[in-house]
Structures are given as structure tokens and as C-alpha cells.
Amino acid sequence: MNTRPPLENPSSTVALYLAFNDDASCFTVGTNAGFCIFTTESCALKTIRDFNAGIGLVEMMGKANYLGLVGGGTSPKFPINKLVLWDEFKSKSALDISALTPVRGVKLSKEGIVVVLQNSVRAYKFAKQPTLISAHDTASNPWGLCCLSPKVIAIPHRTPGHIQIVDIASGNVDIIPAHTSPVRAIALSQDGEMVATAGETGTIIRVFSLKTRGKIAEFRRGIDPATIFSLAFNPSCNRLACTSDKFTLHIFNVPHPRKGPPPETDARPDGSSTGAADGKGRWGMLSRIPLMPRVFSDTYSICSCPFEAGEDEDAGGLPGSESTTPYPSRPPKGILGWRNDDEVVVIGAGKDIRWESFHLGKGGADGSIMIRRAAWKRFLV
């Protein structure tokens, strides 16, 4: 007889998916039992829906009661190739959209629904009987990369490393050659004027103007390759946050095409890490020596700080797997949302589920910016 106690409760809740709503006031969590909605400010539970079955993808429509759901985990609630628009107020499905392949991502607005598949993206008119407006081929997109604003959709292009900007009103498509490696992360600014991208190598982040399609800024996250987890602009659209599998949160100053660089941040003296005010000059005199490698003259983050990512190395044994969730092998980590210009929240899924809040502040007489972890919490425990 095996008398050894189990190492883990097989019925414990595991987070399969995480996403912020459009203003980052809330975030949704898909679990092996249903879904939850939390407030970003304090990680307080707002809503919990127990299906006794897995939800591998859940996206909110702003602050409305509609959510886009896709089944996931070892016992999915819905087919993984079907998007279900869930009316939480009425506790039932309002409509659904089926595809021939698994749904990798979803974006919702009052005007439309965007469904991301492995090699294409489809935009539908929001109606009781959704009407297909446009379809766009992409490179292989297992991570479901897609950003939606009131005017445009930003998605990978068929050519790896390129992105396409789709004008929702006209259907026109512009191509931006962002990277030489496949695109791994995309973020749109809240004012709809910029898009940020990172490639698979994870060393360089670029910001482009949506008006001119020209490059505004280029930042170096680091020298060693890394997997970028998330990119996010602050509400004023003059700072950009980045997380990666180096488990470090980086903050970059963005020269906004209209507003210019960000103003000085209010003082908070107990920051944990500092950087130059503009992210330049990290290597001192080396950055000014001619013919030196570009890593010495590149613009780096103005500050950085470690974040907790838990111990979920891959999905092996988790209810999510490559075939049932939009994340191919690992539960999502380091997902970013800005509460305001000085506070960014980092959340992660898996078995070790965390919410962390970080504050930016002025750090010293030299004008450098500091960042510190202000609060953290394990949720779904």
C-alpha cells in the first residue's frame, strides 16, 4: 500500500491565462475550473465563475459584462476552436464564433471582435450574428499576438519580424519591418499613436509612429537573448515597461511624437534600482569612443527591478498544454498593466500565482528614476 501523502492536491486551482482590460483597472484569470476577475488596484476578487471545467482564454470588453472565453486545460469547458462571448450579467452565452483551428487570442470592443488563429486574424462586426469584416494572414502566431485600439489592429505580418497595422475603418494595411527575428511582443499606446515591438531574441525593443510608420525610438533591454513576456505603455504614453524571462522589469523613457519625453517623477526615496535619467550613458566614456560595438552606445532602461515569476518552468503536468491553451509551453508570466503613470502591476499564472505592484519615483540629486516593489499578493489561494 502506498501510504505516502500526495505532494499536491490534484484539485488545486491553476491559472491558465491572464489579461488586463483596456484601461488596466481589472484583470481576468482563466483557470482549470472557470474564470475570475480581480481589481488591479488591490488584487481584490470581483467575480468568480466556477464551471468545474477549464478556461484557457478570457478577455474583458472594457468594463462591460461581456467576456470572450475559450476552453482550456485537461477538461475544457468549451471547444478550443470556439470563441464564446459570455454575458456575465445574464450568466449565459450571448454568441459564439467557431474556427477550424484552435483560437490563440481574442480582442473585444463595442464595435468588433478580433479572433486570432495560428496563422491568421479575423475581424468581425459585433452583432447577434457576427459578420466577418476582414481576414489577414500572419506568420505562425502561437502566442496569439494582437493589439486592438478604436482605430487600428496591430498583428504579425506573414514575413517573420514584420508587423501589419490594419485600419479598421478603411481596411487598409501598412507593413512595418520591425525586426529580423519573429515578433514576440506587441503593444499599442492608449492614445493610438505608437506601437512597440520586440523580437524573439529579446535584446532590442523598437517604438514606431502609427501616423508616419517611422521609428521613434530603439531601446536595448540587455545583451543576452531573452524571451519578452510583455510590453505596456503608461497612460501618458511616454514610458514603456518590459518584462522577460530574466525576471527583470525594465522601464524606458519614450519620446512621444507630440508630448516629448516624460516629466520628472514625484520623489519616492526608497527605490531599489536606478538608471540614467534618459537611459543613455550606461557605459560612461566607452559609449563615446568611436567604432565601439553599438551595445555601448544604445539606450537602456532608466530603471529596473526584479519581479517574482514562481517556479512553473513549463506546462508539464499543468492543466494547460500546447494543444489546449494559447500559450505553447509555459503559463504566462510578467503580464504588465499600468494603474497610473507612476505605478505598474505585474501578474503571473501557473501554480505559483502572484500580483506585484511597483512604484516609480525620483531617486536622487542626479535626477535618476528609481523603482521599488510596493506590494505583492498571491491570489487564488
Alpha-carbon gap, residue 267 to 252, rounded angstroms: 18
270, pLDDT greater than 60: no
Out of 1.10.10, 3.40.1350, 2.40.10, 1.25.40, select the CATH number for domain 12-101: 2.40.10
pLDDT score of 62: 83
Q: How many CB atoms lie within 10 A of CB 2?
A: 5
Tell me how far CA of residue 30 lies from CA of 17, 43, 60, 146, 260, in angstroms: 5, 15, 11, 18, 38
Cell digits for 235? 497612460
Same fold? 12-101, 185-381: no
234-261 tens-digit pLDDT: 999 999 999 999 999 999 999 988 877 7
Q: Give the chain's mean pLDDT.
A: 85
Report pTM: 0.86
CA angle 108/325/320 to nearest 5° reads 135
Please provide the CATH number assigned to the domain covering 185-381: 2.40.128.630
267, pLDDT greater than 60: no
322-331 tens-digit pLDDT: 444 444 456 7
pLDDT score of 204: 96
pLDDT score of 265: 44
107-145 tens-digit pLDDT: 999 889 999 999 999 999 988 889 999 999 999 999 999
Alpha-carbon gap, residue 288 to 286, rounded angstroms: 5
Q: What does DSSP say about strands 82-87 and 92-98: parallel, antiparallel, or unpaired?
A: antiparallel
Q: How many CB atoms lie within 10 A of CB 37?
A: 18
Alpha-carbon gap, residue 78 to 96, rounded angstroms: 10
144: alpha, beta or left? (left if phi > 0; alpha if psi -120 to 50): left
For the segment 264-273, the average pLDDT, to the nearest whole number, is: 40
**What are phi and psi for residue 157, nearest 5 degrees?**
-95, 175
Q: Which residue has the higher pLDDT, 381 or 271?
A: 381
Domain ranges of the chain: 12-101, 104-177, 185-381
CATH architecture, domain defined by 104-177: Beta Barrel (2.40)
Alpha-carbon gap, residue 209 to 291, rounded angstroms: 29
pLDDT score of 314: 45
Cell digits for 41? 488596484
Poorest-confidence range of 62-76, 212-226, 362-376?
A: 362-376
| CB 210, CB 257: distance < 8 Å | no
pLDDT score of 232: 98
